[in-house]
């Protein structure tokens, strides 16, 4: 049971980090695009 939970966390955590980084990058890119126009 613990191995399943650990495996899930190891799989999910990088996805969450990547999602947060992409979201931050997308928001800053959107703001920069709005300022340019």
pLDDT at residue 4, as a whole number: 94
What distance in Å separates the CA atoms of residue 19 and residue 9, rounded to the nearest whole number? Answer: 15
pLDDT at residue 9, as a whole number: 95
One pLDDT digit (tens) per residue for the chain, 37 residues? 899 999 999 999 999 999 999 998 888 877 777 776 6
Rg (CA), the chain: 16
pLDDT at residue 19, as a whole number: 95
Asked whether the whole model's pTM tops 0.85, one would answer no
pLDDT at residue 36, as a whole number: 67
């Amino acid at each position: 049971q613990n191995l399943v939970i650990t495996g899930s966390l190891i799989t999910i955590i990088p996805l969450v980090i990547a999602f947060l980084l992409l979201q931050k990058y997308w928001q800053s890119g959107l703001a920069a695009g709005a300022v340019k126009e």
